[in-house]
């Protein structure tokens, strides 16, 4: 089966007052129908920009994008604005991080939902409203028929995110891009939302791109995961594979810094240092200033994204030899026993 | 809501008292005798004393104020002008609609001018259009309104003869003595005054609209709207403007209230017989009752309009309405 | 060499002054002649534009000069000052009265006989009761009329039959007849109410026109009195042309706008910003049509406080001041052609005026001033009050400079005009010099000299004698002059003017103002007297 979405060597550059900023620097991945792909990384690594580029939501005047984004064979980067508008909210939908600010405060949620329908379907208002109600019930808003006339500020954060999800799925898109959908919510609500997303994904058959900085979320929900660092992909594999055999020092750092319930530690392990400035990234491997395993070559040569031996799909970009990687990975997993794919 | 209204009305009452007391105090602080002015230069001392008695100026100030309040509350009357002995109520009722027509007409022009300009500037920040607009704004808020009025009156009215130089025409019940009248005459004569007042006021609004639109443009829900596939037109109208214009409503209300007190300069330049002219003459001729009348009307206008605007805002912003 | 230059400068100045004076004299005499030369078109409307509205249209209450100007066309009085330029316009003459009244009772009783034939605009005849009604209203407490100040010395009045009106005074007051020309004493209908608010338009009156409509702060309309027959007696001998059918007043526009309106023909008689006077003269000339300059009767002067401080009992110093001030500069501050330099108390158009040439009107005469001031400057300090707008500050500074040359340091204090006026009127206010002005109420010299210089009228406040001048000899002379009539009266006042100003110098006068009017091309037959203002009964359209 052909992939639903093919991102090939995507590069996005912003022109800022301080100079050009390469926010996405050669990102490639595929999304299959019904698949959940996670994109994980620190703030500013380019994961959100990648998805905004897919949707064409960057500011046109200051953004240049190269590469290809093939949606069912159609290159979205070269599509007309009209075509993009047809696709957005219809075939590809996106939900955002902060549900408190992502809904228009002066329109009822009913109106915003029906708007989403009427933009893409030639139906009457009543039919659109009925559809909106359907979705509200699907996302499990209690007493949906009463709440459909309420305003966003009358809902809690978790409820609002459900409404956002309803709005995104209302036209049965093939791809849902979820940009850190639970980051702004408390842990309990987070679990509920993730549960909901999994359910809906099965019911609707939608593919999901889950952007997150939280490996826990990835473990919960994703089939495949892309690890990004400083506008580049540093590791890409199936979830089980990456949790059992992580093959990049950054991924090790991410896993090591997860809080654990079943171990007593004095301090959370951090990855030392700060993410590099994208205006002036380091030479060679961008992670080398913070990497405990830096070698001379890391400072000169950008490590290419290459397969990791093992028989399954696993790409990584690191100069370390495979044997060292296996060894270090095993050491790490021992110390974080208890966390991982279950 | 009722509690809110009652509180506002009580507060309005307090404001009234404060405003009227201050007017009285300032008036009587100035060392001039209104009775002497009203009596004329050749009045005998007895005559001046007679006039003082007639105008109630022989009483202590607080007694005069008490009488004024009593008359206002019990009879709803603002008294009679020291100078012309006409009912101040009548004078205010005559002049207020003229000022109101000036202010409302100008506000409409302001909105027609400032909103599109502000939006366009926000959409294209630092473009040539934006820079030109901001320069115009700076000029508009810096230049005195009477200078602009005189220049326009001279250039457009006198030199180019596109509009009348000055004057006011009644819309309805046109008198025989009037040299013009009727709707077209009225509008024709109001064009320059509206335009002058609009130029002066629009500057602040362009800046304000620009700032509001720029801020709203970057809100998350605007991004959501685009992510839904909404065309720019809808995004602008239903999402950006619908939110950005809310504070503009408040500002308009306040401005109208302030201007209703008398757009003095514009009225003076174009010879419009509105509250501005009434106030100016009352000040120059020490006509306390008329002055007090205009002050009260101005205060009333501001208080009422801010109240209306607050209620309106509460109604159109669901976050306030339903809290 | 220097002296020769100054001589030539002096001669040029003198020459131009004479030229200007000649122009005025020429217009006074030849004004009517010029009018005859123009094509007189009958009929039409003229529009007069005014910054401020009439105060009242009720003759009992109205006091503004432009209200009186309107009433000069709509009302009739027993006596009037004819609507002609020149000396005839300054001679009190009978109007509704048949000749001057019969004087009896030792000069205290006047009996007027009313001409038959005048009619109100509603057709009723004008009889003696209509003049009595004016008196009733003037004195009524219910009306609160300013006229009561001018009827203070009236003992009683009555009608005798239908056509005789008799007034008895408390004491002899020869200026009484002149007072009768004031608008307060116009004929009014017998049902004219006693109301403090004043009657409104339409106003029933007996003049050649009547006020048909008055929209306050907006407009007014004056139209012909259908019962006035200009080619018959008693109307004919008044000499009115009454060419214009209607006069309309436009109220509101400021001077700059007014000027533009008359340029464009949107109005016919206008004001203008004083600063534009020179430009208008350059463009239209003086009294050649469009721009008119006519003598008026307002005097501006520097009053010296004779009741205290440096000027008390100090005649020589006061005279020195009158020699030291620079009248040319001071007049220039009022504007181009704003007035005529003077050093006397009676303004030139006032009946009784004679030019005595007492002080220098050309410029300061420091030689004379210094010699007079020698040893008289006491502590050398003086305080001058002035107002803070228009010519107030520069004139004060000019005086300050001039007086410095004769050894006096002047401290200037500026006030709002109304406040300054109030302070001037308060006895005991600590000033030495005061910039003040006085406009005539009616054209009798007593209205200046007795009112402004009689020391017995001084009280705690509301004073108009702002030099607080109280000289018993001159008080007695004022009484004497005021008891005379006819030429004797005028001569006596002319001498009083000279003697007070020369021998006592309580004030240093500097300007008698002009009226300056700008008209559109439509206005012809323009005439103006300081008493009536623009002669509405004489204008015509071109």
Q: How confident is the model over B50-60, as pLDDT tens digits? A: 888 888 888 88
Question: Are residues B32 and C421, on separate chains, in Cβ contact within 8 Å?
Answer: yes
Q: What residue spans in chain A does CATH classification 3.40.50.300 cover?
A: 5-226
The pLDDT, as a whole number, for residue A204 is 87
Greatest Cα pair distance in chain A: 67
| pLDDT higher at C239 or B311 | C239
Quote the pLDDT of residue A264.
65
pLDDT bucket at A17, cuts 50 / 70 / 90 = confident
CB of C388 less than 8 A from some CB of B: no
The two tokens of residue C510 are 């500097």
Separation of alpha carbons C502 and C499, rounded Å: 5
pLDDT, tens digit, 9 for 90 and up, residues B246-287: 888 888 888 887 777 658 888 888 888 889 888 888 888 888
The answer to whether the beta carbons of residues A276 and A232 sit under 8 Å apart is no
Contact criterion met (CB < 8 Å) for C260 and B86: no
CB contact B237 to A (< 8 Å): no
CB contact under 8 A, A103 and B243: no
pLDDT tens per residue across span C135-191: 999 999 999 999 998 999 999 999 999 999 999 999 988 889 999 999 999 999 999
d(CA B1, CA A48): 44
- Taking the CA atoms of chain C, what radius of gyration do you get in angstroms? 24
| B270 CB neighbour count, 10 Å cutoff | 32
Interface of B with C in 260-319 (CB under 8 A): 268-273, 277-278, 281, 284, 286
Reported as a pLDDT band with limits 50, 70 and 90, residue B46 is: confident
Q: Which residue did the predictor score with more confidence, B251 or C323?
A: C323
Query: Is some CB atom of chain A closer than 8 A to the CB atom of B233?
Result: no
Both tokens assigned to B86: 């006409």
User: To the nearest whole angstrom, how far is the Cα of C475 from the nearest Cα of chain B?
Assistant: 18
In chain A, where does DSSP find H-type helix?
47-55, 81-87, 109-118, 125-138, 144-147, 157-169, 187-204, 215-221, 239-244, 249-256, 296-300, 322-335
Are B43 and C47 a contacting pair at CB < 8 A? no
Asked if the Cβ–Cβ distance from A86 to B239 is below 8 Å, we say: no
SS3 per residue for C407-450: CCEEEEEEECHHHHHHHHCCCCCCCCEEEEEEECCCCCHHHCHH
Look up residue C354 and give its two tokens.
Answer: 């004679």
C-alpha–C-alpha distance, residues A78 and B16, integer Å: 66
Inter-chain contact A88–B228, Cβ cutoff 8 Å? Answer: yes
Give residue B28's pLDDT band: very low, low, confident or very high (50, 70, 90).
confident
Q: Please give the pLDDT value at position B323.
A: 60
Q: Using an 8 Å CB-CB cutoff, list chain B residues near C213.
A: 175-177
Task: Convert the pLDDT of each residue in B286-295 to its tens digit.
Answer: 888 899 899 8
pLDDT mean over C375-385 = 94
> In B, which residues are within 8 Å of A53 by CB distance?
none
**Contact exists between C and A (3 or more beta carbon pairs < 8 Å):** no
Interface with A, mutate which of B122, B215, B229 (most A CBs under 10 A)? B229
pLDDT in tens, A206-216: 999 999 988 88
Is pLDDT of A263 > 80? no
By Cβ distance, the residue of C198, C215, C418 closest to B177 is C215
Q: What is the mean pLDDT of residues C72-82?
A: 96
**How many whole angstroms separate alpha carbon C114 and alpha carbon C103?**
15
C338-352: per-residue pLDDT in tens? 999 999 999 998 989
Neighbours of B195 (CB within 10 A): 20
Q: Kindly identify which residue of chain A lies nearest to residue B318, measuring between CA atoms.
A: A106
Is the distance from CB of C51 to CB of C258 less than 8 angstroms? yes
- Mutation target vs C (from B154, B162, B271, B279; most C CBs, 10 A cutoff): B271
Tell which C residues from 49 to 68 touch B, by Cβ distance under 8 Å.
Answer: 52, 55-56, 61, 63
Q: Please, what's the b/e burial string for A256-283 (b: 16 or more CB within 10 A of its CB; e: otherwise)?
A: beeeeeeeeeeeeeebeeebbebeebee
Q: Is the pLDDT of residue C38 over 50?
A: no
Distances from the Cα of C268 to the Cα of A155, C64, C220, C538, angstroms: 72, 21, 14, 15
Distance CA A24, CA A13 (A): 7
B-chain residues within 8 Å CB-CB of A108?
318
Q: What is the pLDDT of residues A36-78, one digit of tens each?
A: 999 999 888 889 999 999 999 998 888 999 999 999 989 999 9
Sort A45 into a burial class: Cβ within 10 Å, 0-12 / 13-18 / 19+.
buried
Q: pLDDT for C253-301, tens place per residue?
A: 888 889 999 998 989 999 999 889 999 999 999 999 899 999 999 999 9
Q: Between chains, do A115 and B238 touch, taking CB under 8 Å as contact?
A: yes
Choose, out of B126, B221, B320, the residue to mutate when testing the contact with A (most A CBs < 10 Å). B221
Note whether B93 and B184 are within 8 A (CB). no
Name the residue of chain B whose CA is nearest to A121's CA. B229
Q: In chain C, whose CA is at the least distance from the CA of B278? A: C217
Using CA coordinates, name the residue in chain B closest to A112: B225
pLDDT of residue A339: 46
Q: Which of B102, B151, B167, B173 to mutate to test the interface with C (most CBs of C within 10 A)?
A: B167
Average pLDDT over residues B199-209: 87
B 192-231: CB under 8 A from C = none
Residues 6+ apart with CB under 8 A from C218: B168, B170, B175, B177, B178, B273, C251, C252
B220 — contact with chain A (CB < 8 Å)?
yes
Strand partners, C529: C533
Complex ipTM value: 0.86
Mean pLDDT, chain C, whole residue set: 89
C266 Cβ under 8 Å from any chain B Cβ: yes
**Which of B227, B238, B322 minimises the CB distance to A89?**
B227
What three-state secondary structure class fits B249? helix
Quote the CA–CA distance of C32 and B67 in Å, as a whole number.
Answer: 57
Q: Which member of C221, C422, C462 has the closest CB to residue B31?
A: C422
Q: Tell me if A103 and B221 make a contact (CB, 8 A cut-off).
A: yes
Please determine, for residue A267, whether its predicted confidence score (pLDDT) is greater than 80. no
Q: Which of C248, C257, C438 sits opposite B165 (nearest CB)?
A: C257
Per-residue pLDDT at C222: 96
DSSP assigned state of C101: P
- The closest of C147, C155, C146, C195 to C173, measured between CA atoms, is C155
* Closest-CA distance of chain B to residue A150, Å: 9
Q: What is the CATH number of domain A5-226?
A: 3.40.50.300
pLDDT recorded at residue C20: 43
As to burial, measured by CB atoms within 10 angstroms (0-12 exposed, 13-18 middle, 19+ buried), residue A124 is: exposed
Q: How far is B257 from chain C (nearest CA, A)?
A: 24
Q: Which of B124, B130, B220, B228 to mutate to test the interface with A (most CBs of A within 10 A)?
A: B228
Give residue C17's pLDDT: 44
Sign for the CA dihedral angle at B9, B11, B17, B19 comes to negative
Split at pLDDT 50, 70, 90, the class of B171 is confident
Q: Residue C277: its pLDDT value, please?
A: 93
Please state at what angle helix C472-483 crosses helix C486-499, rounded to 10 degrees: 160
Please compute the mean of the pLDDT values over residues A179-207 and round it to a whole number.
89
C384: β partners: C412, C433
Residue A257 pLDDT exceeds 80: no
How many Å lie between the alpha carbon of A191 and the closest alpha carbon of chain B? 23
Tokens of C380: 């050398």
As separate numbers, helices (DSSP H) first and strands (DSSP E) second, chain A gives 12, 12
pLDDT in tens, A141-189: 999 999 999 999 999 989 999 999 999 999 999 999 999 998 888 888 8
Quote the percentage of chain C above a pLDDT of 90. 76
Residues across chain B = 323
């Amino acid at each position: 089966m052909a992939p639903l979405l093919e991102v090939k060597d995507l590069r996005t550059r912003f022109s800022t007052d301080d100079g050009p900023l390469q926010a996405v620097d050669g990102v490639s991945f595929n999304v299959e129908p019904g698949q959940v792909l996670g994109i994980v990384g620190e703030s500013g690594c380019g994961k959100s920009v990648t998805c905004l580029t897919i949707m064409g939501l960057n500011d046109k005047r200051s953004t240049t994008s190269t590469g290809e984004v093939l949606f069912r064979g159609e290159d979205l980067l070269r599509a007309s604005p009209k075509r993009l508008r047809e696709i957005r909210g219809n075939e590809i939908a996106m939900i955002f991080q902060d549900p408190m600010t992502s809904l228009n405060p002066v329109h009822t949620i009913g109106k915003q939902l029906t708007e989403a329908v009427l933009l893409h379907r030639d139906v009457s208002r009543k039919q659109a409203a009925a559809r909106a109600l359907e979705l509200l019930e699907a996302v499990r808003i209690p007493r949906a028929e009463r709440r459909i006339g309420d305003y966003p500020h009358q809902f809690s954060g978790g409820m609002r995110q459900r409404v956002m999800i309803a709005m995104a799925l209302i036209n049965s898109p093939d791809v849902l891009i979820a940009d850190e959908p639970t980051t702004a919510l408390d842990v309990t609500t987070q679990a509920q939302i993730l549960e909901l997303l999994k359910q809906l994904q099965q019911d609707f058959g939608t593919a999901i791109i889950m952007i997150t900085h939280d490996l826990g979320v990835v473990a919960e929900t994703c089939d495949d995961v892309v690890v990004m660092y400083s506008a580049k992909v540093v590791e890409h594999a199936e979830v089980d594979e990456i949790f059992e055999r992580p093959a990049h020092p950054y991924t090790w750092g991410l896993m090591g810094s997860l809080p654990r319930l079943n171990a007593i530690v004095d301090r959370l392990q951090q990855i030392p240092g700060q993410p590099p400035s994208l205006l002036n990234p380091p030479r060679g491997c961008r992670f080398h200033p913070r990497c405990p395993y830096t070698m001379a070559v890391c400072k000169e040569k950008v490590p290419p994204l290459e397969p990791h031996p093992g028989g399954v799909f696993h790409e990584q970009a690191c100069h370390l030899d495979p044997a060292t990687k296996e060894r270090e990975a095993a050491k790490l997993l021992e110390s974080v026993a208890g966390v991982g794919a279950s | 809501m009722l509690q809110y209204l009652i509180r506002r009305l009580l507060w309005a009452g307090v404001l009234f008292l404060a405003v009227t007391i201050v007017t009285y105090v300032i008036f009587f602080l100035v060392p001039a005798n209104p009775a002497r002015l009203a009596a004329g230069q050749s009045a005998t001392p007895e005559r001046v004393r007679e006039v003082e008695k007639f105008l109630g100026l022989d009483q202590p100030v607080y007694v005069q104020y008490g009488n004024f309040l009593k008359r206002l509350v019990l009879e709803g009357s603002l008294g009679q002008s020291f100078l012309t002995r006409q009912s101040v109520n009548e004078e205010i009722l005559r002049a207020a609609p003229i000022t109101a027509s000036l202010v409302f007409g100008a506000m409409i022009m302001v909105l027609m001018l400032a909103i599109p300009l502000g939006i366009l500037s926000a959409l294209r920040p630092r473009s040539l259009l934006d820079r030109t607009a901001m320069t115009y704004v700076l000029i508009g808020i810096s230049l005195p309104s009477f200078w602009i009025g005189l220049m326009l009156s001279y250039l457009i009215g006198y030199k180019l003869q596109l509009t009348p130089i000055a004057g006011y025409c009644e819309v309805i019940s046109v008198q025989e003595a009037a040299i013009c009248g009727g709707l077209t005459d009225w509008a024709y004569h109001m064009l320059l005054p509206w335009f002058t007042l609009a130029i002066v006021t629009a500057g602040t609004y362009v800046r304000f609209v620009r700032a509001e639109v720029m801020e709203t443009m970057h809100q998350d829900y605007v991004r959501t709207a685009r992510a839904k596939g909404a065309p720019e037109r809808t995004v602008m109208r239903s999402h950006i403007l619908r939110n950005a214009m809310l504070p503009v409503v408040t500002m308009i209300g306040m401005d109208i209230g302030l201007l209703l007190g008398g757009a003095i300069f514009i009225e003076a330049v174009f010879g419009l017989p509105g509250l501005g002219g009434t106030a100016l003459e009352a000040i120059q001729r020490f006509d306390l009752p008329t002055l007090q009348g205009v002050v009260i009307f101005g205060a009333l206008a501001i208080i009422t309009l801010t109240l209306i605007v607050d209620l309106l805002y509460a109604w159109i912003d669901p976050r306030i309405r339903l809290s | 060499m220097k002296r020769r230059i100054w001589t030539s400068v002096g001669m040029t100045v003198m020459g131009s002054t004479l030229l200007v004076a000649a122009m005025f004299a020429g217009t006074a005499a030849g004004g009517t002649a010029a009018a005859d030369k123009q094509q007189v078109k009958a009929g039409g409307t003229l529009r007069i534009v005014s910054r401020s509205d009439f105060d009242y249209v009720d003759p009992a209450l109205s006091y503004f000069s432009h209200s009186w100007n309107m009433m000069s066309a709509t009302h009739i009085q027993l006596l009037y000052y004819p609507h002609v330029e020149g000396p005839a316009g300054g001679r009190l003459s009978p109007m509704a009265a048949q000749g001057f009244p019969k004087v009896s009772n030792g000069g205290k009783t006047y009996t007027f006989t009313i001409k038959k034939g005048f009619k109100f605009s509603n057709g009723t005849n004008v009889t003696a009761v209509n003049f009595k009604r004016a008196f009733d209203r003037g004195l009524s407490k219910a009306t609160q009329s300013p006229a009561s100040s001018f009827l203070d010395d009236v003992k009683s009045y009555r009608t005798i039959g239908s056509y005789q009106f008799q007034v008895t005074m408390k004491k002899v007051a020869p200026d009484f007849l002149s007072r009768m020309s004031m608008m307060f004493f116009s004929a009014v209908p017998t049902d004219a109410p006693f109301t403090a608010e004043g009657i409104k338009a339409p106003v029933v009156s007996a003049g050649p026109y009547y006020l048909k409509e008055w929209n306050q702060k907006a407009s007014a309309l004056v139209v012909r009195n259908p019962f006035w027959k200009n080619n018959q007696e008693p109307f004919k001998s008044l000499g009115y042309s009454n060419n214009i059918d209607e006069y309309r007043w436009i109220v509101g526009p400021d001077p700059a706008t007014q000027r533009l309106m008359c340029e464009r023909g949107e109005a016919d008689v206008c004001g203008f910003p004083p600063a534009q006077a020179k430009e208008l003269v350059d463009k239209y000339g003086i009294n050649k049509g469009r721009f008119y300059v006519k003598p008026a009767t307002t005097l501006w002067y520097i009053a010296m406080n004779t009741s205290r401080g440096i000027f008390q009992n100090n005649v020589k110093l006061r005279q020195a001041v009158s020699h030291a001030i620079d009248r040319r500069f001071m007049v220039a501050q009022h504007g181009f052609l704003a007035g005529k330099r003077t050093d006397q108390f009676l303004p030139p158009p006032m009946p009784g005026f004679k030019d005595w040439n007492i002080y220098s009107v050309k410029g300061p005469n420091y030689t004379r001033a210094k010699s007079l001031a020698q040893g008289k400057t006491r502590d050398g300090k003086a305080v001058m009050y002035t107002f803070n707008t228009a010519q107030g500050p520069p004139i004060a500074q000019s005086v300050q400079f001039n007086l410095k040359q004769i050894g006096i340091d002047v401290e200037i204090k500026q006030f709002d005009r109304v406040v300054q006026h109030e302070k001037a009127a308060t006895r005991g206010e600590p000033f030495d010099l005061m910039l003040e002005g006085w406009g005539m109420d009616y054209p009798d010299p007593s209205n200046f000299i007795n009112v402004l210089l009689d020391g017995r009228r001084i009280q705690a406040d509301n004073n108009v004698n702002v030099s607080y001048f109280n000289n018993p000899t001159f008080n007695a002379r004022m009484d004497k002059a005021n008891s005379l009539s006819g030429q004797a009266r005028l001569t006596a006042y002319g001498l009083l003017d000279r003697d007070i100003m020369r021998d006592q110098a309580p004030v240093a006068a500097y300007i008698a103002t002009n009226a300056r009017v700008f008209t559109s091309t439509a206005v012809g037959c323009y005439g103006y007297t300081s008493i009536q203002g623009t002669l509405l009964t004489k204008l015509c359209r071109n």
